[in-house]
Homo-oligomer: A and B are copies of this chain.
Amino acid sequence: MIGEVRVLVVEDDVRMAVAVRRGLRAEGFVADLAARGMEALGMALATEYDAIVLDVLLPDLDGFAVCRRLRADRVWAPVIMLTARDAVRDRVCGLEAGADDYMVKPFSLLELVARLRALTRRAPIERPAVLEVGSLRLDPTTREVWRGATEVELSAREFGLLETFMRHPGQVFTQMQLLEAAWDLGYRQRSNVVEVYVRYLREKVDRPFGAAGIETVRGVGYRLRRDGGG
């Protein structure tokens, strides 16, 4: 694919790393994984990545050190640091070490993807695509949502959920997949948040318009009809 975006993910928690990779791949990124700082340095020097996602806590070098050494070695790819719970010190250290952005764990894939898109966007010539499914329209940059001609106000979660659906119209998502995409990674306890938010969405983008965009696939999950439901 032309314009393929290569991302290096440096993260020692295997489960997290794999989840991130899967998420990025689903969004069209190509992700390589590294579990240790030294390994990451080698890979970043060997391959020219478009972005680097860097965990702070690593078994050998910590993320700050990796970032500094990358910069010292003239690797200028944008770096997103993953810091533990809101440690302000971490955040400052990260930016001082030359990171471009930081995220606190836990974070959602959608958020990571959004930031990666922002950081890897070349010149602003390419108008970031507005998602359209049937009479539904969603603009990720302005965070506006329209059903036909009327604008719909959505909360952050509702927006994230709808964005997930609209990026893959027709595809069936399990509740688990939706949790991973639009909620914080590692949200593991049994909960019915997804059901609840699917309902909120329906009440905002379907019901007032007599539409039926979000379908329940019993025993499996949910999907957004390819025609947007009317």
Which A residues are closer than 8 A to B by beta carbons? 1, 4, 14-15, 17-19, 21-22, 25-28, 30, 33, 35, 68, 71, 74, 76, 78, 88, 91-92, 95-100, 119, 121-125, 139, 141-144, 155-156, 170-172, 188-190, 217-220, 223, 226
Nearest residue (CB) in B for A119 is B22
Residues of B within 8 A of A172 (CB): 141-143
Cα A187 to Cα B119 in complex, Å, equals 20
Report the minimal beta-carbon distance from A85 to chain B, rounded to whole angstroms.
14
Is B78 a contact partner of A22 (Cβ separation < 8 A)? Answer: yes
Residues of B within 8 A of A100 (CB): 18-19, 22
Report the minimal beta-carbon distance from A51 to chain B, rounded to whole angstroms.
12
Report the minimal beta-carbon distance from A90 to chain B, rounded to whole angstroms.
12
Residues of B within 8 A of A218 (CB): 155-156
CB < 8 Å: which of B15, B143, B220 contacts A220? Answer: B143
Cα A220 to Cα B143 in complex, Å, equals 9
